[in-house]
Homo-oligomer: A and B are copies of this chain.
Amino acid sequence: MGDIKIIGNIVEKIPWEEKKGGKYGSPVWRYSNNPIIGRNPVKGVARIFNSAVIPYGGEFIGVFRGEQTNGIPYIYLGRSEDGITWNFDENRIPFEDEEGNPFMPLYAYDPRLVKVEDIYYIIWCQDFYGAAIGMAKTKDFKKFIRIENPFLPFNRNAVLFPRKINGNFLMLSRPSDSGHTPFGDIFVSESKDMVYWGKHRHVMGKSSNWWESLKIGGGAAPIETTEGWLLLYHGVSSTCNGYVYSIGGAILDMDNPSIIKYRCENFLLTPEEWYEERGFVPNVTFPCATIHDAATGRIAIYYGAADSYVGLAFSKVDELVGYIKDNSKVSESDTEIGKR
């Protein structure tokens, strides 16, 4: 491991496979047995994709976007010993309100899972008279209590930072419209209590690089490194035959994450394997989580593929951050504080 380090926990059992060959110096490589989750993964669910995982109790746990056979997405719990083979609950996660009454969203998709202090937060997209962000908290993955929707519609791709910054919770999100949004920048918002949110700042927008020239959106929870917050996000290109979703990378300032220090002008991964190019929504690679190990600098990236599968890819923090720095191109709206 080089000079650039992950600041965080040791995860000895992190899924891992060494790089084999690799072309053109790409710092991210795919797991050789991808996809790790195939079609019809559990009764009543046609496809699992765009899902988030986290170390828990010496093993791994995750929240998974399951497309039910009625076509409506919901969130399912899954467990794994190795982070690669997953077992899913047949029942949807039973959300309740703060009084203990069932409080299920009409639909729920693209969950993220982030631990802040001793609480696990699930953040997803749901109906709130339009597409918006829903949230719940759990300590034990048995009781899931919904908390206030943080933002007005329309919004998607909200991702919490894994620790408070300057005493406040911080969350990335991507304001949108209610359809297949043809625009979108990443903002960051602050809260003292996870109920009231404010001090919204613009973080970064689409760029002149064609792979992210339509819109972008937060992906995995930011990884704390000695260079700043490493953000893996998705960038979208619009073609005559639809959108193409690639994975990009940026480094955010540690104390003021609305400021981008480095932003890689090249995608880190783009659809080219059969499970990324073929499926319910062809040509999608959509990162939602990483598992990362501070001892070795290893990063395992979990990404949805073609809205049909879960793929796994790997990188090492020094190689990945080094590549982002070496290929960095930032714009004025990236480096400013983002207040207007």
Query: Number of contacting residues on A, CB 8 A?
Result: 37
Select which of B127, B129, B205 is within 8 A of A338 by beta carbon: B129
A126 interfacial by beta-carbon distance below 8 Å: yes
Select which of B105, B154, B187, B198 is within 8 A of A196 by beta carbon: B198
* Binary per-residue interface labels of chain A (72-107) against chain B in the complex, 1 for a CB within 8 Å, 0 otherwise: 000000000000000000000000000000000110
A130 interfacial by beta-carbon distance below 8 Å: yes
Q: Judge whether B129 and A198 touch: CB under 8 Å.
A: no
* A218 → B minimal CB distance (Å): 13
Q: Judge whether A195 and B198 touch: CB under 8 Å.
A: yes
**Which residues on the B side are within 8 Å of A130 (C-beta)?**
175, 183, 185
**C-alpha gap A129/B215 in the complex (Å):** 13
Contact residues of A between 279 and 326, Cβ < 8 Å to B: none
Select which of B192, B197, B199, B202 is within 8 A of A128 by beta carbon: B202
* A94 → B minimal CB distance (Å): 17
A150 interfacial by beta-carbon distance below 8 Å: yes
**C-alpha gap A190/B198 in the complex (Å):** 12
**Which residues on the B side are within 8 Å of A129 (C-beta)?**
185, 187, 202, 205, 333, 338, 340
Select which of B105, B190, B202, B340 is within 8 A of A105 by beta carbon: B340
Q: Judge whether A175 and B152 touch: CB under 8 Å.
A: yes
**C-alpha gap A38/B27 in the complex (Å):** 64
**Which residues on the B side are within 8 Å of A148 (C-beta)?**
198-200
* Binary per-residue interface labels of chain A (142-165) against chain B in the complex, 1 for a CB within 8 Å, 0 otherwise: 000000111111110000000000
**Which residues on the B side are within 8 Å of A199 (C-beta)?**
148, 195-196
A177 interfacial by beta-carbon distance below 8 Å: yes
* A159 → B minimal CB distance (Å): 14
**C-alpha gap A83/B152 in the complex (Å):** 36
A173 interfacial by beta-carbon distance below 8 Å: yes
Q: Judge whether A152 and B338 touch: CB under 8 Å.
A: no
**Additional pairs, 13, CB under 8 Å, beyond known A129-B338, A149-B340, A178-B183:** A106-B340, A126-B340, A128-B202, A129-B185, A129-B202, A129-B333, A130-B185, A151-B152, A154-B177, A177-B177, A190-B196, A191-B196, A195-B198
Shortest beta-carbon contacts, A-B, top 6: A196-B196, A196-B198, A177-B177, A129-B202, A195-B198, A152-B175
